[in-house]
C-alpha cells in the first residue's frame, strides 16, 4: 500500500480507530521513570503544596492530573510525594486523587497493573521504596493498595481535550508533552489546560519546554531548574486586563 491508501485506511470507520491507536503507540516515546525530574518534585513539596494549604488550610481533597502519564511512574511518584507531605503535616482528612491520562492503551495497561521490574524502581529513594512497594514472587515490585487506589488511569488524546470531564484541578503535570506539537497547537493545549485549573492552581511543564508567550491567566513561579505557573485568582485577571 502507498501512503494515500494507508491514510484512507486510517479514516475508515471499521478498522481505522484501532490502527490509529496502534500507530500512535509505536510513534510515541514512552521514556519515563519514577522520580524522573527531582526539581519538579522539590517544587511540589516546597512551594505548590504549602501554597495550596496556606490558601485553604481545611481542604478535604487534592485533585491532580498527570497528562501524558505513559506507564504510570509520574502519577505514582506525585502521589507518593503528596502523601508523604500530608503525613508530615499530620493531615489525615485530605484525600489525594491523581488522574493519569495517556493516548497509549498498552502503556495504560502497565500503569493500571502497578507492578514494575526491579530496574524500574532503581531511582526510587529507599524510604519511599520500603513504604510504597511490596516485592512480589516474580521479583517485581507492586505499588501498595493504599496508594494505588488513589490513582486512576484513562485513555485520552490531549489534542481532544474538550472530551475530558476533568476540571477544577489543583495541579496539572504536563511534562515533556508539548515538545511534540507545533507552536499553534501548544498554545491551544495550554489554553485548555488553564481552563481546567482552579484559580490558584498550578501547571507544571518540562523544564526545557517553552510557552512562546505567557498565557494571560498564568504567573510564572521562580524555582531552580523547574518550570511551573500559577493560575491567577479572578480578581488578578480582572486587574491585569485593566477592567
How many residues belong to the chain?
243
- Residue 165 grid cell: 470531564
Instruction: Give the span between the Cα atoms of 37 and 225, in whole angstroms.
Output: 9
| pLDDT the model gives residue 243 | 44
The domain spans of the chain are 1-30, 33-240
CATH architecture of the domain 33-240 equals: 3-Layer(aba) Sandwich (3.40)
Instruction: Give the span between the Cα atoms of 107 and 93, in whole angstroms.
Output: 32
Instruction: Give the span between the Cα atoms of 187 and 213, in whole angstroms.
Output: 8
Instruction: Give the span between the Cα atoms of 156 and 108, in whole angstroms.
Output: 10
In SS3 terms, 97-165 reads as EEEEEECCHHHHHHHHHCEECHHHHCCCCHHHHHHHEEECCCCCEEECHHHHCCEEEEECCHHHHHHCC
The helix/strand/coil state of 206 is: coil
Spatial neighbors of 172 by CB under 8 A, at least 6 apart, are 64, 65, 67, 193, 196, 197, 201, 202, 203, 204
163, 193, 207: which is closest to 43 by C-alpha? Answer: 207
β-bridge mates for residue 159, sequence order: none
- Residue 49 grid cell: 503544596
- Residue numbers in the chain where pLDDT is lower than 50: 238, 243
Identify whether the C-beta of residue 204 lies closer than 8 Å to the C-beta of residue 235. Answer: no
Identify whether the C-beta of residue 154 lies closer than 8 Å to the C-beta of residue 184. Answer: no
| pLDDT the model gives residue 5 | 76
- Residue 136 grid cell: 512480589
Identify whether the C-beta of residue 103 lies closer than 8 Å to the C-beta of residue 28. Answer: yes
Instruction: Give the span between the Cα atoms of 155 and 52, in whole angstroms.
Output: 28
Q: What is the pLDDT of residues 40-90, one digit of tens each?
A: 999 999 999 999 999 999 999 999 999 989 999 999 999 999 999 999 999
| pLDDT the model gives residue 164 | 78
Amino acid at each position: 500500500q502507498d501512503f494515500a491508501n494507508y491514510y484512507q485506511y486510517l479514516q475508515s470507520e471499521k478498522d481505522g480507530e484501532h490502527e490509529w491507536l496502534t500507530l500512535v503507540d509505536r510513534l510515541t516515546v514512552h521514556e519515563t521513570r519514577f522520580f524522573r525530574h527531582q526539581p519538579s518534585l522539590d517544587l511540589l513539596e516546597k512551594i505548590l503544596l504549602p501554597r495550596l494549604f496556606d490558601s485553604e488550610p481545611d481542604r478535604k481533597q487534592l485533585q491532580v492530573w498527570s497528562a501524558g502519564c505513559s506507564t504510570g511512574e509520574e502519577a505514582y511518584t506525585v502521589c507518593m510525594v503528596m502523601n508523604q507531605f500530608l503525613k508530615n503535616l499530620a493531615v489525615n482528612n485530605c484525600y489525594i486523587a491523581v488522574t493519569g491520562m495517556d493516548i497509549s492503551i498498552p502503556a495504560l495497561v502497565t500503569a493500571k497493573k502497578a507492578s514494575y521490574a526491579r530496574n524500574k524502581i532503581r531511582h526510587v529513594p529507599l524510604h519511599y521504596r520500603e513504604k510504597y512497594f511490596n516485592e512480589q514472587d516474580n521479583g517485581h515490585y507492586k505499588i501498595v493498595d493504599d496508594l494505588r487506589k488513589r490513582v486512576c488511569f484513562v485513555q485520552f488524546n490531549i489534542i481532544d481535550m474538550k472530551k475530558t470531564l476533568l476540571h477544577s484541578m489543583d495541579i496539572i503535570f504536563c511534562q515533556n508533552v508539548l515538545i511534540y506539537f507545533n507552536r499553534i497547537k501548544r498554545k491551544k493545549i495550554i489554553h485548555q489546560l488553564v481552563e481546567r485549573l482552579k484559580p490558584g492552581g498550578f501547571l507544571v511543564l518540562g523544564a526545557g519546554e517553552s510557552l512562546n508567550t505567557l498565557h494571560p491567566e498564568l504567573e510564572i513561579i521562580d524555582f531552580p531548574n523547574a518550570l511551573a505557573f500559577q493560575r491567577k485568582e479572578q480578581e488578578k485577571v480582572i486587574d491585569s486586563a485593566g477592567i
